[in-house]
Amino acid sequence: MTTWIDASCILIVFLALTMLATYRIVGIIKIFAAQSFVLGLTPFFLHADGLTIRDIVIAMGTIVLKTAFVPFVLLWAMRHVSMRSEIKPIIGLGTSIVFGAMIIAGAFWVSLSLHLPGKPISDLMLPCSLSTVLLGFLIMVTRTRAVTQVLGYLVMENGIFLFTLSLFDVMPTLIEMGILLDIFVAVFIMAIIVNHINDEFERSPASVSRSKMGEAF
Amino acid sequence: MLAILILIPFICAFLVMLPSTKQFKGKLFLLVTLLHGLIVASFWKVLPAPEFDGFIALDQMSLILMSIISLLFLLVAVFMLGYFEHEQRSNRKLIACLLALLSTMTLSSVSRHMGLLWMAVETSTLFSAPLISFHRNRDSLEATWKYLLVCSVGIALALMGTFFLAIAAHDVHTLLLSEILDKASSLSTNWLKLSVIFLLVGYGCKMGLAPMHSWKPEAYGQSTGMVAVLMSGAVTQCSFLALVRVGQICGKTGLADFYSSILILTGLLSLAVPALFILSERNIKRAFAYSSIEHMGLLVLGLGMGGVGVFGALFHMINNALAKVIMFLTAGSIAQKYGSSRMDEVRGVIHIYPVTGTFLISALLAGTGMFPFATFHSELMILNAAVISRHYVLAFFVVACLAVMFIGVARIVLDIVHGQPTEPVLEKKENFFMNSAIVAAIIGLIGIGLWMPAPLEKILSAAVLIANG
């Protein structure tokens, strides 16, 4: 089972890196859906001694919300916005990948000094979740389109969710479902605002607010 | 009872979405807030029992926050009756979101599970976002986007912090606050330290502490006065409650000094940053937003100082909320009358609207902590904590920042109040409902400034014991 979890972790980071290197927004949404699907499958491999109902609920919840609903909402938002690809990322795609690789190396290095209490399910879970969170953050701060920034936020959330799986016994299912629902509502509201923004600006304002947003980080 | 208190506003949020008149929605909102207020007032006599296996429970700390939330919503509901007499836009989405916000904020004030608390704070962020873009113009949408993104990242970091806390509390097997506090000695200190940093940055982002404050001037500047009141007086203070809860855990695990030092540092930064920006500000709502950053800084500073500072900080929660009512409702009233809140376009308010002009002067005094407003006393207590602990340089720095803030806010307010009217404005009558909400806040703030009722002192003292762990 650990082999499967390791494979999922690597795939999740790989897909996050692919998102960083993708130009077309629809493409990024599709890769995000694929990443969420892999993430949704991970709970199935958590318990070697058989599946619990909880594993199934969390897995199905993730797959339905993040692989189906969220990409659907984002694609719906895209239909109303007259743009298909990232115009001017703050840093070029090639440079982004180099930064991404550095982030992954950094995350693995930091993870060496962090020890999870108890018996870890997989040694790759912590470094991979940290890498995904940081890659999501990188997408968010280097892209100018509002939809891509939302996707960066979602990749961050996926990284955090991967991290949650290592804490399966501490969080009650209800809270986990609540967190999932929150993320869905967040995306929904963001999509509506992207639409309103488009009505008002004809194009996304995220590039306008970029410089000011930079102050926050 | 607590579950009912959370559910009523949530159900009514759906009711408001059904077709009905503007007046009906306004009155329903008032009714719900009144009912909420009455139930919360009954808790001052007897605290209700914990519900859902202790996931939601009310202690004195929660009661203070819940009372603030209830009071602010009630005052806003009264103000809104008058506001929508002059407003063409529909109040349907606004009231639905406000009711949902009331529900989620009530939940965050009573959450005793750190995961549930995160969920409640996150949901309140989501429901407050559409409120900012009520006017739906270019600037307000940009402000909403900025608020959503900055706060979402912040709240994601807080989630990460919550998970680090879960790792630290691996042997406790739950994130229920009472259990964590009971078995505090089994917590892993290294993971807890990491968790504390993430939680402080995350919830600090939501509170608008410097340097995570960049959304605040935009959001408060673009939203209506009513929304700004609820965000600055209630939503941000829910995150402060989360920081108090983190402090409780730190107090039990020997990390109190570590936590205090980062709280003091963040507090000082939140006092310094607005002082730097206020002098070049020309918009009254944005100026009040900077004042709000300063007040949040005072809250965490008081909490970090310990001793009388904690009492001061908790007292300041109430005073800050009432001061924000006076400040933002008056600013909102002016923005509606003049269609602007910039000092270049609004001048000589007292000549045309004498009552609103007087309110604005009161807003200046209340917001900058002048006697006889209670903000003066709570700020003095926080300052006192610095002097008692012999942090003289720190105390001097706080006074200097407060002085600069006073000069900055006074410059704008006095210009707007006493300046020469630029052009004759159509004579409009002052509105009874709008003014009575502001008057109630002024009376309340002066009242507790001159005389603190015994029940309030008792609850505050009990809350201080809780906050100190």
Interface A-B, measured as beta-carbon pairs within 8 A, has a size of 114
**Strand partners of residue B111:** B56
Q: Is pLDDT larger for residue A175 or for residue B459?
A: B459
What's the rounded Cα separation, in Å, for the pair B136 and B132?
8
Q: What percent of chain B has pLDDT over 90?
A: 53
The two structure tokens encoding residue B108: 């965050």
What's the rounded Cα separation, in Å, for the pair B282 and B344?
7
Å between B353 CA and nearest CA of chain A:
34
- In this predicted structure, the answer to whether residue A215 has a pLDDT above a threshold of 60 is no
Q: Is pLDDT larger for residue B420 or for residue B325?
A: B325
Question: Which of B122, B149, B205 shows the shortest C-beta gap to A149?
Answer: B149
Question: Which of A170, A189, A193 shows the shortest C-beta gap to B173?
Answer: A170
* Cβ-proximal residues to B350 (8 Å cutoff; 6+ apart), any chain: B357, B358, B360, B417, B418
Peptide bond into B372 cis (omega under 30): yes
Q: Is pLDDT larger for residue A48 or for residue A5?
A: A5
* Residue B240 banded pLDDT, cuts 50, 70, 90: very high
User: pLDDT per residue over A150-196, tens digit each?
Assistant: 888 889 888 888 888 777 666 666 567 667 666 766 776 777 777 67
- Position A92 scores a pLDDT of 78
Q: Does B254 touch chain A (CB under 8 A)?
A: no
* Contact between residue B171 and residue B253 where contact means Cβ atoms under 8 Å apart: no
What's the rounded Cα separation, in Å, for the pair B211 and B209?
6
**If contacts are CB pairs under 8 Å, which of residues 189-228 in chain B contact chain A?**
191, 205, 211-212, 214-215, 218
* A17, A87, A136, B12 from A24: Cα distances, Å: 14, 9, 17, 42
Q: What percent of chain B has pLDDT over 70?
A: 99
Quick check: B145 and A156 CB within 8 A? Answer: no
* Cβ-proximal residues to B128 (8 Å cutoff; 6+ apart), any chain: B97, B101, B147, B227, B230, B231, B235
Give mean pLDDT, residues B106-122.
Answer: 91
User: pLDDT per residue over A18-44, tens digit each?
Assistant: 998 888 888 899 999 999 999 988 888
The two structure tokens encoding residue B222: 């673009």
- In this predicted structure, the answer to whether residue A206 has a pLDDT above a threshold of 70 is no
- In this predicted structure, the answer to whether residue B105 has a pLDDT above a threshold of 90 is yes
User: pLDDT per residue over B385-403, tens digit each?
Assistant: 999 988 899 999 999 999 9
Write down the domain spans for chain B: 2-467
Give mean pLDDT, residues B158-186.
Answer: 86
User: pLDDT per residue over A104-153, tens digit each?
Assistant: 999 999 888 877 776 667 788 888 988 999 999 898 888 877 788 888 88
- Position A47 scores a pLDDT of 73
User: pLDDT per residue over B245-271, tens digit each?
Assistant: 999 999 988 889 999 999 999 999 999
Query: Which has the minimum average pLDDT: A6-20, B273-287, B344-358, B439-453?
Result: B344-358
Quick check: A172 and B115 CB within 8 A? Answer: yes
Q: Does A149 touch chain B (CB under 8 A)?
A: yes
Q: Among residues B161, B175, B237, which one has the least CA distance to residue B206?
A: B237
Quick check: A179 and B149 CB within 8 A? Answer: no
Quick check: A157 and B136 CB within 8 A? Answer: no
- Compute the mean pLDDT over every residue in chain B, rounded to the nearest whole number: 89
- Residue of B118, B119, B121, B194 best to disrupt the A interface, most CBs of A under 10 A: B119
User: pLDDT per residue over B57-79, tens digit each?
Assistant: 999 999 999 999 999 999 999 99
Å between A50 CA and nearest CA of chain B:
22
- In this predicted structure, the answer to whether residue A210 has a pLDDT above a threshold of 50 is no
- Position A216 scores a pLDDT of 28
**If contacts are CB pairs under 8 Å, which of residues 137-166 in chain B contact chain A?**
137-138, 141-142, 144-146, 148-150, 152-153, 156, 159-160, 163, 166
* Cβ-proximal residues to B381 (8 Å cutoff; 6+ apart), any chain: B302, B308, B309, B311, B312, B315, B316
* Residue A208 banded pLDDT, cuts 50, 70, 90: very low
Residue B359 identity (one-letter amino acid): F
Q: Does A49 touch chain B (CB under 8 A)?
A: no
- Position B440 scores a pLDDT of 94
Quick check: B163 and A164 CB within 8 A? Answer: yes
What is the chain B residue with the closest CA to A187? Answer: B126
Question: Which of B119, B166, B169 shows the shortest C-beta gap to A179?
Answer: B119
What ipTM was assigned to the predicted interfaces of this complex? 0.79
Residue B163 identity (one-letter amino acid): F
* Contact between residue B92 and residue B25 where contact means Cβ atoms under 8 Å apart: yes
What's the rounded Cα separation, in Å, for the pair A70 and A64?
9
Residue B18 in 3-state DSSP? Answer: coil
- CA Rg, chain A, in Å? 17
- In this predicted structure, the answer to whether residue A200 has a pLDDT above a threshold of 80 is no
Å between A148 CA and nearest CA of chain B:
12
Å between B30 CA and nearest CA of chain A:
26
Residue B89 in 3-state DSSP? Answer: coil
Residues of B in contact with A70 (CB under 8 A): none
* Residue A214 banded pLDDT, cuts 50, 70, 90: very low
* Cβ-proximal residues to B292 (8 Å cutoff; 6+ apart), any chain: B208, B216, B220, B232, B236, B324
**Strand partners of residue A201:** none
- Position B231 scores a pLDDT of 93
Give mean pLDDT, residues B18-44.
Answer: 91
